[in-house]
Amino acid sequence: MGMTMSQKIIAARAGLPAVEAGDLVEAGVDMALGNDITAPVAIREFRRTGAGAVFDRSRVALVPDHFAPNKDIKSAQQCKAMREFALEMGIEHYFEVGEAGIEHALLPERGLVLPGELVIGADSHTCTYGAVGAFSTGVGSTDLAAAMASGSVWLKVPAAIRFRLAGELGGWASGKDLILHIIGMIGVDGALYRSMEFCGPGVAGLSMDERFTIANMAIEAGAKNGIFPVDRATRSWAASVSGRRYAEYEADADAEYEATVDVDLAAVPPTVAFPHLPSNARPIGEAEGVALDQVVIGSCTNGRIEDLRVAASILRGRRVAKGLRCLVFPGTQKIYLQALREGLVEDIVGAGAVFSAPTCGPCLGGHMGILAEGERALSTTNRNFVGRMGHSGSEVYLASPAVAAASAIAGAICDPAKIADPAGGRAAARPRDGRGGER
């Protein structure tokens, strides 16, 4: 029996000719990642191992992004612990305020994750890097500690579900709508400890930014990881961020899948996930008119340049509804600068929104956008659990940047086609003439 993409990467990193679903293996790690919530715990456990140095100073990354810039004394202490450890160990990839960003936007941007690599991170959304054809998954802080010391991690090889994509997304539908649609189909445990492997002719029509969004939310279906095939778009992206060599893997023709889910992209509408689960997904028509107090655009899910382009294309020349707060968070400093060059920041701020430094703060109710009791937010983030963005009596709806921007103008959940150019859609993510720049 053949192997899936994920199984091939795991087998290669474990030094084995083949693996099967359910096998327990020790696999080498290409990158180990921690943030300001999980890394301090990992550092304490690392010291308990007695190791005097990390296994490779170039293959550990520490990114304070959840409560940074520091929101209080405790968060400052957390970041201080990371900073001192990074200096002590000579860790090459420590990114703090000024050059930092949201970890899952920053690492790909820096070329620190490439196709065929095995990446772990003490953050559940580490599965983001499957967008580039890597096996990437979240682990606990103790697993991160062990990996920093040894360069390896124990894994149970996941079985896989194949998602075969056909056609093209239309109108204002995007990668965010697609993954919400899929999670709505299979449920929050529909891919429990499985690899979500995306394939089919429809993949070619998805931008790299959309693939990052889709892979990022694989965990919201319970998946061990999400992964895309390496194609022309992937290779072009890899060449733009790194000169390092990498390996490409593809699933065998006789690879075993527990199920195959066919998705017609043309039938995917703008989609909104109602409280309090990402799987509570409904077409935009069933969500319109829900009054809002706050809109958040950004995060490791939708804080990339294409997301900001789409949001700005709708906000441009319009005004955020009176009494509604609209907060925009770019994924990294580089994205922030690109948005400035293209005039997107001016469009967004001119509409009455607030543009923030890169941070995870509002996504997890950490800082900069916490909800009070009874408040309701629409967010481009990845989770809408009870109390996720603040008070347990608040509500969070999940949607794409297009729906979020349109809703900010309307003051209630709104189909972007009703207030923006119906011919816009995903084309709005392309650079505008004279205000373009790097993709």
Per-residue model confidence as pLDDT tens digits over 24-47 = 999 999 999 999 899 999 999 999
Which is nearest to 213 in space by CA: 181, 187, 174, 182?
A: 174
**Per-residue pLDDT tens digits for 93-151:** 999 878 889 999 999 999 999 999 999 999 999 999 999 999 999 999 999 999 999 99
Q: Which fold has domain 5-264?
A: Aconitase; domain 3 (3.30.499)
pLDDT score for 433: 38
Domain with CATH 3.30.499.10 in the chain: 5-264, 271-429
The residues of the chain scoring below 70 in pLDDT are: 422-427, 430-439
pLDDT score for 210: 97
Q: Which fold has domain 271-429?
A: Aconitase; domain 3 (3.30.499)
pLDDT score for 430: 63
pLDDT score for 97: 78
- Phi, psi dihedrals of residue 148, rounded to the nearest 5°: -65, -30
Which is nearest to 332 in space by CA: 176, 112, 141?
A: 112
- 7: Cα within 13 Å, side-chain hemisphere: 23
pTM, full prediction? 0.93
| Distances in whole angstroms, Cα of residue 80 to Cα of each of 96, 147, 156, 178 | 11, 22, 34, 39
Packing angle of the helix pair 232-241, 208-216 (nearest 10 deg)? 90
Distance of CA 78 to the CA centre of its chain: 23
